[in-house]
Chain A
Amino acid sequence: MTQPSPTSGGASSDRTGRFVTQPNGHVTPLSPHIGIWRWHVTMAASILFRATIIAATVGALIVVAWLGALAFGPDAYAAALALAGSPLGLFVGFGLTVVLFSFILNGTRHTINDTGNGLTIKSSTILSRIAVWAPVPLAILFWVVLFAVGRVSL
């Protein structure tokens, strides 16, 4: 089987960096994605979903600890509640709600795309923007209402 000659087409005189010498000595055109790639929000949404799953796993550990504190009785639960009500606890709690909303929205985006929908450039961009940005205002709203109704206080 004959390979197309990698050196044909002016590779030897190329000065643009579009050709690379492979470890086996062949001179081949540089894969075009480096030259035409640019950042897009769909990439951020994809990476953030993985980060969200990892963070949600940590969040699940905290929830299981909360369940354990409940099962160990009122004293253990009071200690857990005091920890959750401390400034650090509230900060972690805020982070957990960001993760929860991120999981719901990004998971919805993933499911929509997996069923073959929302894959035009415009709609995938909109879905990704929602998944990336909306968790933060939703979590802020969540906690503003909690503080407003007096359920939590500093």
Chain B
Amino acid sequence: MSGQVKGNGARFKNNVKISERHGAGEWLAERVLLVVVLPLGLWVASTAFTLTGAGYDAVQDWFANRLNAGLLALTAVVFFGYVSVAWKVILEDYVPQPGTRKALVALLNLVFLVLAAASVFFIVRMALGSAPLPAGFGA
């Protein structure tokens, strides 16, 4: 991995200039996350078909299945990870001011982190059959 350094700080590997920054890693992360999201997306489509119009008890039974709850939590985490990278790419294209761009990327990452955490929290409560919220939070 150690590339030899030439005059202006550019790094080379086998005399081929290698990325000065981290773009290649982000590109790969986006591709890998998308490849994981796609089959889960098919599963989400079949799940949406199963659960559309279902009553509370039926949905609770669905969540009681550990495989369903686990796959849904995985989907939430991977999906929000993917859109985090995807929104960064979109913002890099359309927001020219570096300060504004960094602030927006950081804000969206925070939002997606909170959404992923909230999803997993709700899913775990449903899977464990916890009492309806706000039970356990002062009520």
**A residues near B, CB below 8 A?**
50, 53-54, 56-57, 60-61, 63-64, 67-68, 70-74, 76-78, 81, 85, 93, 97, 100-101, 103-104, 107-108, 110-111, 114, 142, 145-146, 151-152
Contacts and interface: CB of A to CB of B under 8 A. Distances in A.
Given A50-B90, A60-B115, A64-B115, 15 more contacts: A61-B115, A67-B119, A67-B126, A71-B121, A71-B125, A73-B131, A74-B132, A76-B132, A77-B56, A78-B56, A100-B44, A104-B41, A104-B45, A107-B38, A110-B34
Nearest to A100: B45
B1 interface: no
Contacts of B80: 60
A107 B86 CA distance: 12
A114 B87 contact: no
**Chain B interface residue bracket vs A:** 35 or more
B13 interface: no
Given A53-B86, A61-B115, A142-B49, A67 B122 contact: yes
Interface of B: 31, 34-35, 37-38, 41-42, 44-45, 48-49, 52-53, 55-56, 59-60, 63, 76, 79-80, 83, 86-87, 90, 115, 118-119, 121-123, 125-126, 130-134
The dominant DSSP class at the B interface is helix
B42 A104 contact: yes
A60 B79 CA distance: 9
A146 B53 contact: yes
A151 B87 CA distance: 35
Contacts of B87: 53, 57
A44 to B, nearest CB: 17
B87 to A, nearest CB: 7
Nearest to B79: A60
A152 B123 CA distance: 24
13 contacts: A53-B90, A67-B126, A70-B60, A70-B63, A71-B125, A72-B133, A74-B132, A85-B53, A100-B48, A107-B37, A107-B41, A114-B31, A152-B52
